[in-house]
Amino acid sequence: PTPAPVRCMCWTLRSYILSYIILFLSCTYCHTYLSPPSLSGSVPDIAVHFGTKTRYEDVVRPGLNLSSAAAGCSPVHLTAVIRHGTRFPTVKNIRRIERLSRLVQSQAPRGHGAPSWLREIQEQWQQWYTEDMDGRLVEKGRADLRNLAMRLFSSFPGLLSEAGLRGGGITVKTSSKHRCVSSAEAFQEGLHQTTGTQTVVDDSLMRSFERCRGYVEGVETNATATEEVDRFKHGPELRQVRARFSTFLSFVVADLVEAAFFICSYELAIKSLYSPWCRLFTKEDAKVPTDPSLVSSVSPRLVPLQSSFCPRFVLGKSCFSPRFVFVSSSVSPASVLV
């Protein structure tokens, strides 16, 4: 089998989107930093480790004015790199979820001896993911992007003003992935820009890693590039998490542990539900997902492995997946790359 591409060294992602937007503001000396989300209410405590699956609403700071955060600066140009909104799992993970769900239904112990969360999964939880959902943007994901556009607009009314838009000052670029194109459209809706600006699909820029020889040969098609990931999957951190699973399932591969973690994060992100699957993980466990994104903290060598090739591109794919970027051009007051 072909190894999964090494995707990422950052497990922070969506939670830091706002920070990245600020980083990309081309306004002299403007720089600030936003801390990770602080979550409350009926949100699993492991949600702070959801990384790219973190809900937008958990990192939004109401009333935050990105423009005035940069005191003394007068923005002349806006560049933002934005990830797509909330979406369904991809088909690969939907199949894993299906497999895990069948295993739990057919093999896990039932009745009063079983822990309450297990009974809840068996008796109340429905496997509702279907393969056609395959990574598509959910309706809430559209709202994520519309709201983000509105927040940006209220922070930079001058830059993103109608006049600016009419003058063709905004460029929107996206990768061809459907969830990214949908995100781009929703973003423009948020700017009240149904006409005027077109969304430009530009894979040579937005999926540039695909054409980066260093990445393709060094990682994507390199059978040994992910060996540290494989070691991690069989390492002590994950063994501990799998041991918990073994109390109710005789055998669980690392991919299915990850699937359970994903169910927890997707159900919170898509449905705002505290899924019973979340209760399989302690807070310590949640720091150890099987996704390569976390592996860097365990295997630091993965970081140079990725970033030494085409740093900009690989950073793009791995760190915050800028399928959705606002980008500058020297003549435009504000431009958007999606």
Ligand X SMILES: *[C@@H]1O[C@H](CO)[C@@H](O)[C@H](O)[C@H]1NC(C)=O
Residue numbers at the binding site for ligand X (CB under 6 A): 65, 67-68, 154-155, 157, 217-218, 222, 224-225, 305
- Our CB check for ligand X shows the closer of 62 and 236 to be 62
Which CB sits closer to ligand X, 305 or 327?
Answer: 305
Please, are residues 51 and 264 in contact by the beta-carbon 8 Å criterion?
A: no
- 178 is annotated as an active-site residue: no
Q: Report the residue number, 112 or 301, with the smaller CB distance to ligand X.
A: 301
What secondary structure does DSSP assign to 101-162, as a single string? HHHHHHHS--STTS-HHHHHHHHT------GGGTTPBPHHHHHHHHHHHHHHHHH-TTTTSH
The CA distance from 272 to 184, in Å, is 23
166: which DSSP letter? H
Name residue 63's amino acid: G
For ligand X, the closer of residues 155 and 275 by Cβ is 155
We find the least distance from the C-beta atom of residue 184 to ligand X, in angstroms, to be 24
Separation CA 195–CA 6 (nearest Å): 39
Smallest separation, CB 219 to ligand X (Å): 7
Across the chain, which distance is largest between two alpha carbons, in Å?
68
* E-assigned strand segments in the chain: 81-82, 172-174, 199-201, 324-325
Q: State in angstroms the smallest separation of the CB of 159 from ligand X.
A: 9
Q: How far is CA 78 from CA 6, 71, 183, 195, in A?
A: 31, 16, 19, 21
Q: Which two tokens stand for residue 80?
A: 């933002």
CB of 172 vs ligand X, minimal distance in Å:
22
Query: Smallest gap, in angstroms, from Cβ of residue 218 to ligand X?
Result: 4
CA 76 – CA 184 distance, rounded (Å)? 23
Whichever of 77 and 323 has its CB closer to ligand X, that residue is: 77
Considering the candidates 31, 49, 77, 84, report the single residue annotated as catalytic.
84
Enumerate the active-site residues.
84
